[in-house]
């Protein structure tokens, strides 16, 4: 991997984490661990007021790198797969419990773990070409990267079940109606919208931001211990799904562009 898969910088008291695999639509891989850890640690420093999470190129993130995952399964590299799954639950927990506002800037596809990553933010600005998808079920996998937990927080259980059981796409207008995004912003206006929000957060009261964020989670019944347990349980279900033959079939079918033949 030639370029750093995650870029991080602090600009005017705002941390900016950029997923930096645009040629792979910012697919998630274990090599991102160091970048995520640095971003979370530095964003927790007193001088930082908020964290922006965005993806380079035309997509936010399509989730796990399917080609890499299929190769791992084929070669029996289960430990590497599980490292990616553990990273997902750790990142989701880190973003949700970071005592600073987290804002996701979402364009194009945000699928699978990419959708989970976006939903781990406190606020989401999206371009009109946004497409959310809980695509896991289409390859016989369980939601991860905090996505099942997030849908449980945001949506009526029947709607959450619909998105996870069908894997159907959710366009920008429905995402806004469901409350999965806060605002739809035309692509050519997004930089200005992000700058304005960044300035607002940068000049805000850090201690009050932290208290409000904790209250939002507490009022939903998601204090840190319960949140951690739910994310760990989600990862256990994904690891179990990865070990089933249907997962190998689902991944292979995806790469071969055919309909899977599940057991």
Instruction: Note whether 139 and 250 are within 8 A (CB).
Output: yes
pLDDT at 149 over 60: yes
Three-state DSSP class for 8?
strand
Identify the pLDDT of residue 174.
98
Between the alpha carbon of residue 98 and those of residues 52, 88, 106, 160, 226, the distances in Å are 12, 15, 20, 25, 16
Q: Which residues of 187-217 are buried (b: 16+ CB within 10 A; e: fewer)?
A: eeebeeebeebbeebeeeebeebeeebeeeb
Q: Provide the pLDDT confidence category of residue 232 given band limits of 50, 70 and 90.
A: very high
Task: Give the pair of three-digit tokens for residue 27.
Answer: 């697919």
User: Which 8-state DSSP code applies to residue 239?
Assistant: H
Query: DSSP 3-state assignment of 233?
Result: helix
Q: What percent of the chain has pLDDT over 90?
A: 93
**In 10 A of CB 231, how many CB atoms?**
25
**What was the pLDDT predicted at 2?**
58
CA distances from 245 to 52, 165, 250 (A): 38, 19, 9
State the Cα–Cα distance between residues 197 and 123, nearest whole angstrom. Answer: 11
Residues in Cβ contact with 51 at an 8 Å cutoff, skipping those fewer than 6 apart: 14, 15, 16, 17, 39, 43, 95, 98, 100, 101, 102, 103
224 and 35 Cβ atoms separated by less than 8 Å:
no
Strand order in the sheet with 109-111: 109-111, 131-133, 169-171
- Cα atoms in the 13 Å half-sphere on the side-chain side of 59: 20
Predicted confidence (pLDDT) at residue 179 exceeds the cutoff of 80? yes
Question: Global pTM?
Answer: 0.96
Average model confidence (pLDDT) for the chain? 96
Q: What is the mean pLDDT of residues 62-85?
A: 90
Contact 163, 116 (CB under 8 A): no
Higher per-residue confidence, 8 vs 70: 8
Give the start-to-end residue ranges of the domains of the chain: 6-187+224-256
SS3 assignment, position 162: helix
Handedness of CA 178, 148, 128, 188 (dihedral sign): positive
Distance of CA 166 to the CA centre of its chain: 19
pLDDT in tens, 2-33: 589 999 999 999 999 999 999 999 999 999 99
- CATH ID of 6-187+224-256, from 3.40.50.1220, 3.90.226.10, 3.40.50.300, 3.40.50.970: 3.90.226.10
Band (217; pLDDT cuts 50, 70, 90): very high
pLDDT value at 74 more than 90: no
Please report, rounded to a whole number, the percentage of residues in the chain having pLDDT higher than 70: 99
Confidence of residue 93 (pLDDT cuts 50, 70, 90): very high
Residue 97 pLDDT greater than 60, yes or no: yes
| Pairing, β 14-19 against β 6-11 | antiparallel
- Sequence-ordered alpha helix ranges (H) in 76-186: 78-97, 113-119, 147-154, 157-166, 172-178
């Amino acid at each position: 991997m030639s370029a750093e898969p995650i870029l991080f910088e602090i600009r005017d008291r705002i941390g900016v984490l950029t997923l930096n695999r645009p040629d792979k639509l910012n697919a998630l891989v274990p090599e991102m661990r160091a970048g995520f850890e640095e971003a979370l640690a530095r964003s927790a420093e007193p001088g930082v007021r908020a964290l922006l999470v965005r993806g380079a190129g035309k997509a936010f993130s399509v989730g796990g790198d399917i080609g890499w995952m299929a190769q791992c399964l084929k070669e029996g590299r289960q430990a590497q797969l599980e490292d990616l799954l553990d990273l997902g639950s750790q990142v989701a927990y880190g973003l949700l419990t970071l005592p600073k506002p987290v804002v996701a800037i979402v364009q194009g596809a945000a699928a699978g773990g990419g959708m989970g990553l976006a939903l781990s933010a406190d606020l989401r600005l999206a371009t009109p070409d946004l497409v959310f998808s809980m695509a896991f079920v289409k390859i016989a996998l369980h939601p991860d990267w905090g996505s099942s937990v997030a849908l449980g927080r945001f949506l009526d259980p029947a709607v959450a079940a619909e998105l996870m059981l069908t894997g159907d796409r959710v366009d920008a207008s429905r995402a806004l109606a469901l409350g999965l995004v806060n605002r739809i912003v035309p692509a050519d206006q997004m930089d200005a919208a992000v700058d304005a929000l960044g300035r607002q957060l940068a000049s805000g009261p850090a201690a009050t931001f932290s208290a409000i964020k904790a209250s939002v989670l507490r009022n939903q019944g998601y204090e840190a211990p319960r949140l951690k347990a739910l994310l760990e349980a989600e990862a256990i279900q994904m690891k179990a799904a990865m070990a089933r033959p249907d997962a190998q079939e689902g991944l292979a079918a995806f790469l071969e562009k055919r309909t899977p033949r599940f057991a």
